[in-house]
Amino acid sequence: MRESAVERRFRPEIQGLRALACVLVVVYHVWLGRISGGVDAFFLISGFLVTGQLYRASVRGRIEYRPMWGRMIKRLFPAALTVLLLVIAASSVLLPQNRWFQTIKEVVASALYVENWQLAADSTDYFAQHNSASVVQHFWSLSIQGQFYLVWPLLVGLVLLIARRARRNVRPLLLAVLGVVFAVSLAYSVWLTSVDQPLAYFDSLTRVWEFALGGLLALALDMVPIPRPVRVVLGWTGVAGLVACGLVLQVGTVFPGYLALWPTLSAAMVILAGDTASKGGADRFLSSRPLEYLGDLSYALYLWHWPVLVLYLVSRDREEVGPRGGAVIIALAFVLAVLTHHLVERPLRSSEIGVRTRWGAYRFGVLTMAVVLAASGAWQWVSVSQAEDYSIAVNDPDHPGALARTEGFTYWGADDATLVPSFVGVSEDWAGIDPARCGTSPRNTDLEVCTSETSGHPTRRIVVTGDSHAGQFLGALLPVAEARNWEVTSILRGGCPFSTDSDAVPGDQSCIDWNSAVVEEILTTRPDAVMTIGTRDVRIGVEERVPGGYIAQWRKIDEEGIPVLAVRDNPRFSQSPSACVESRGATSPECSTPRYDLYAAEPPYEALPDLPSNVRFVDFSDYFCTAEVCPPVIGNVLVYLDDNHVSGTYMSTMSSIAEKAITAALGWADENAEEPPPGG
């Protein structure tokens, strides 16, 4: 589609608006550590431009899909895939190995334009929430735009087809359809933001209304004349609204929903203002040559600013940047954007690719995408190889793990033993029951129930329930269960402890309902014991406690005479101890935390007078901490996989310890069983 008179008329202001939105995104990210709302303005601009182009093409006769998508490939793919390829190279050198797997996964998702759905899945996957920000996390918005460029022309084409069959004018019908899309998507966005904001933030459907609003603006722009003085006010109001949005609102925690109307309506005001021909108009500022050039660079600048920021923080081992560091990041991102624009974007956009051959642009897109996917695959292969290099067997003399904390322990392994698990694999080192043995409960489909394999009829049946902190003890329990022929059933939900309240996320009714269903499941199946976490908030600055909701939940089980094994929680930290070890070394004092900052001398349950009679507490704190500190490495094993979860490898070294503690607490110690490994 050739540039129309309408596009030529608005091009300077649109370019300036792009530049302003991009500058706000970059400055807010780098210097303020906030989100500006500029991405929402990008979505509205895309909806405005693409809808206008499609409508004018439909008026001329038909929408030519193949060349249109070919031009989009030439415009979007070169810069994006160049950045991804260079990010792979830089990340493999600069990123800590414990972040490799997550980065590879997100690079692939970004190359396929589904990064927003990858982040949406992670936002509902409690385990994934502890991943550090990915170097390509910002591709979520580009993924939504890519999906929009694919689907939107089909929607407009369908409306055009209906209008022709009905012999109707296409504009009123398209206005009506976009109005419905806008209303339905906005309503869905408001609802989902209220019930699950992290998921709503990345869900494509919660953002469709922003594109639709831009489309409505494109169709109605010339229908209502606006006096020049009003347009001048609209222009500056829109600019001020865009600048202020990120300062006033915590965009990352409240968007999209109805609050995203702020930046989108602000951008709409700027477009409505158009060319005011006034010396005092915002368009005079937005159409200036520097901003117009910055608008040309905006795509590449957006692509580069986030990886530069993340890699800078990693290389400098910092959590945030100061004014000087921010200036360096922005300057470097700007230089890379200029190089990318002039050496990659412009040459390929004006090249003969896709001009002389019908499918040249598509072949080019597949080829460039294949290069990125191949590089990601090679990095994945290296990562998996390193992750599998080191594993430990039962009673590995070089890697005693928790056994090194047992009384009278004598180390007989090598002095230079390699730490396990490997840094590249530690973040994925979760313990659990084989997923093939998992399914929904026949009594409640909201419960995922996993059951370990036994040899014939089990001698005991134990249910492990609650959040991920309860689930991590499966690493210690499953080897015991295999040796004693116990049946272990896990019923877990991330971020939802076994309680009558929503202790991790206050007000989460779905967690409360899930817990009610778990109690019903337990009372129906009547296991020999229930294992769960008994305390919470083992962290600096917070006093460890036993929430009342925990006790109330245990009391429900007590009424049926089912024992509850309540495990004292493990520590939580402000950083990942394993990541600290990788960057600073296992003996660095910065990687250990004083025990008295985390654990009180007496567990909080010792002072509780009204505990149910069925509760038995187990305290493993001495296997996470010495008398003085809680170290990141014990017995040549990395204790933690992130900032608060114990690695599956370390948990496996606690199996004999857990066996003695559990059987003693439940009165099962005298039962016939295989002898536990020595040192327990």
- Evaluate whether 544 touches 624 at the Cβ level (below 8 Å): no
Element (H or E) spanning 332, and its range?
helix 323-340
pLDDT tens digits, one per residue of 580-610:
999 999 999 999 999 999 999 899 999 898 8
Q: Give the span between the Cα atoms of 668 and 659, in whole angstroms.
A: 10
Q: Which two tokens stand for residue 538?
A: 């083992």
pTM to 2 decimal places: 0.88
CB 417 within 8 A of CB 636: yes
Q: What is the pLDDT of residues 362-378, one digit of tens each?
A: 999 999 999 999 999 99
Label the pairing between strands 460-466 and 529-533. parallel
DSSP states of 135-187: TTTTHHHHHHHHHHHHHHHHHHHHHHHHHHHHT--HHHHHHHHHHHHHHHHHH
Rg (CA), the chain: 29
Q: Residue 318: left (phi > 0), alpha (psi -120 to 50), or beta? A: beta
- Look at residues 400, 391, 392, 417 and name the one whose alpha carbon lies nearest to residue 635: 400
Q: Are 597 and 570 in contact (CB under 8 A)?
A: no
What is the mean pLDDT of each successive set of 10 residues along the chain, which is 680 residues long? 53 86 94 92 96 90 89 94 97 92 95 96 75 88 97 95 91 96 98 92 97 96 88 95 95 94 96 88 90 94 97 88 93 97 93 75 92 96 82 79 91 80 91 94 92 94 96 96 96 95 86 95 96 96 94 94 96 93 92 95 91 95 96 96 95 95 89 45
Which pLDDT score, from 0 to 100, does residue 122 have? 87
3-state secondary structure of 326: helix
Give me 534's structure tokens: 């008994």
Q: What percent of the chain has a predicted confidence (pLDDT) above 70?
A: 95
Residues 6+ apart with CB under 8 A from 57: 1, 63, 64
One-letter amino acid at 10 equals: F
What burial class does residue 14 get, using C-beta atoms within 10 Å of its C-beta: 0-12 exposed, 13-18 middle, 19+ buried? buried
* Nearest of 347, 275, 232, 254 to residue 7 by alpha carbon: 275
